[in-house]
Amino acid sequence: MRFPVVRPRRLRATPALRRLVRETTVAPSDLVWPLFFNERLDSPLPVKTMPGVDQLPVRMAGEIARLAVKRGLGGVLLFGLPKTKDEFGTSACDPDGPVARAIAEIKSAAPELVVITDVCVDEYTSHGHCGILHTRRDGQVDVDNDRTIELLADIALMHAKAGADIVAPSDMLDGRIGTVRERLDENGFESMPVMSYAIKYASAFYGPFRDAAECAPKFGNRASYQMDPANTREALREIALDIDEGADMLIVKPALPYLDIVRRVRESTTLPIAAYNVSGEYAMLHAAAAAGMLDLDRVVLETLTSIRRAGADMILTYHALHAAELLDA
Ligand code: PBG
């Protein structure tokens, strides 16, 4: 059968018909809103490279949490900017640090909001790398894997004690999911889910985030721990390891330049998958819209739809609040 008998346009004739046959939806509950709490601030500080995103004072956490609940968001993802940094990222374990204090504010204002914490030290190290450094046998300075994963487990435990609902290690070191899982279990947090940034590429799309979180590496890059953008099989190997070590959910990051990876991961695991629509992806749309080149509202929804269509269950996105408002309208 073919034209003129077959006419796909019949099902596109009205908004109601299009809605009826729509294959992919985006709901506010699919969206997780990343937030930056800066201990040194009394009022919001706009992030220059991310229009509409602010670093926030901890005292605003409750108010922001109520907004997230009102809009029906799936959750929030917390990053902390501490008062002090050192080469070991010591302040990341401070139970009075910005993340712990923000969790307390959020849980008293909106206890039902899902709070996910980013477990990493790059915002807390003076050199900006995602771990404690050492000099390798070949003379290169690099992140000391086995020492750092113990630190990550300490941070995850601190977040758990502070009341986080989910911890999300984002460092890409080997063995950290198992180490975090074990530390949580030994301390009575066997019910705390671990959301692994299982597949995180060494991407230039993180550029604006490093402004937002003040964590650009002072030397070198992250290529010895984050993945080579050219690799797919390695991504499947990473998820297999993390699942084996006890991950409950997986993150693919970035999202848009890696939708093929989201799809491959979707087809190879039954675990929930999140895609991180990262800072550079956010900034591109805002820059193009500000230059009059794109309709922001439409490209935001189309972008989020494409990520869901690729197979992500949820999306970590700076567009979360804006998108939820559009979806509600
Ligand atoms: C590391 C971390 C980064 C992002 C999230 N967690 C930065 C990095 O790996 O360099 C990037 C997120 C974004 O670009 O939106 N703590």
- Interval 134-193: pLDDT, tens: 999 999 999 999 999 999 999 999 999 999 999 999 999 999 999 999 999 999 999 999
Q: Name the residue of 55, 206, 224, 307 to mutate for ligand 1: max ligand atoms within 8 A of Cβ.
A: 206
Q: What integer is the mean pLDDT of 24-33?
A: 98
Task: Say what the pLDDT of residue 1 is.
Answer: 86
> Residues with Cβ within 6 A of ligand 1?
118, 120, 122, 170, 206, 209-210, 222, 278-279
CATH of region 24-328 = 3.20.20.70
Mean pLDDT across the stretch 268-290? 98
Q: How confident is the model at residue 298 (pLDDT cuts 50, 70, 90)?
A: very high
With a pLDDT cut of 70, the percent of the chain lying above it is 100
Confirm if 170 and 197 have CB atoms less than 8 A apart. Answer: yes
Mutate which of 99, 170, 176, 225 for ligand 1 pocket (most atoms within 8 A of beta carbon): 170
Mean pLDDT of 208-236: 94
Enumerate the domain spans of the chain. Answer: 24-328
Under 8 Å between Cβ of 113 and 100: no
Atom of ligand 1 nearest to the CA of 216: 10
Q: What pLDDT is stored for residue 211 in this prediction?
A: 86
Q: Cite the active site residues.
A: 200, 253
Q: Is the dihedral of CA 229, 31, 268, 262 positive or negative?
A: negative
Q: How far is the CA of 1 from the centre of ligand 1 (A)?
A: 51
The pLDDT tens digits of the residues spanning 65-122 come to 999 999 999 999 999 999 999 999 999 999 999 999 999 999 999 999 999 999 999 9
pLDDT at 208: 96
pLDDT value of position 176: 97
Report the nearest-CA residue for atom 16 of ligand 1: 120
CA 171 to ligand 1: nearest atom: 1
In sequence order, what DSSP letters do the residues of 80-104 get, joined into one string? EE-S--BTT-GGGG-TTSHHHHHHH
Q: Containing H/E element for 65?
A: helix 61-70
For residue 258, pLDDT over 90 is answered with: yes
